[in-house]
Amino acid sequence: MANIVILGAGVMGSAFSTPLSDNGHSVRLVGTHLDTDIIEEIHETHVHPRLRSRLNESVQPFTYDRLDEALVAADLVVLGVNSLGVEWAAQMLGPRLPANFPLLFLTKGLAGDGHALQTLPHRLRAGLPPERQRDVRLNAVGGPSIAGELAERRHTCVVVTGNDAPLIERFAGYMRTPYYHVWTSTDLIGVETCVAMKNVYALAVGLVGGLLEKDGVAPNDAVMFNVAAGLFAQGLWEIAYMVDVMGGDRRSVYSLPGAGDLYVTSMGGRNARMGRYLALGTPFSEAKRTYMPDDTIEGAQLAQAIGPTVETMLADGRLDGDAIPLLRTMINIVCHDAPVAIPWDSFFAGPHKA
Give alpha helix (H) positions in 102-219: 120-127, 130-133, 147-151, 165-175, 188-215
Catalytic positions, written as ranges: 198
DSSP assignment letter at 183: E
156 by DSSP, 3-state: which? strand
Q: Name all domains of the chain by residue range, CATH numbers in brackets.
A: 3-186 (3.40.50.720), 190-346 (1.10.1040.10)
Report whether 75 contacts 3 (CB < 8 A).
yes
Q: Please compute, for residue 47, the number of CA atoms within 13 A of its CA located in the half-sphere on the CB side.
A: 5
For residue 243, give the amino acid letter.
V
pTM over 0.85: yes
Q: CA-to-CA distance for 199 and 203, rounded, in angstroms? A: 6
> How many Cβ atoms from other residues are within 10 Å of residue 191's Cβ?
32
Are 15 and 148 in contact by the 8 Å Cβ rule? The answer is yes
Comparing CA positions, the residue from 84, 96, 105 lying closest to residue 34 is: 84
Rg of the Cα atoms in the chain: 20
Tens of pLDDT along the chain (354 residues)? Answer: 999 999 999 999 999 999 999 999 999 999 999 999 999 999 999 999 999 999 999 999 999 999 999 999 999 999 999 998 999 999 999 989 888 899 999 999 999 999 999 999 999 999 988 877 878 899 999 999 999 999 999 999 999 999 999 999 999 999 999 999 999 999 999 999 999 999 999 999 999 999 999 999 999 999 999 999 999 999 999 999 999 999 999 999 999 999 999 999 999 899 999 999 999 999 999 999 999 999 999 999 999 999 999 999 999 999 999 999 999 999 999 999 999 999 999 999 876 654
The SS3 assignment for 3 reads: strand
Q: Position 20: which residue type? A: L
Torsion 73-78-80-86 (CA) sign: positive
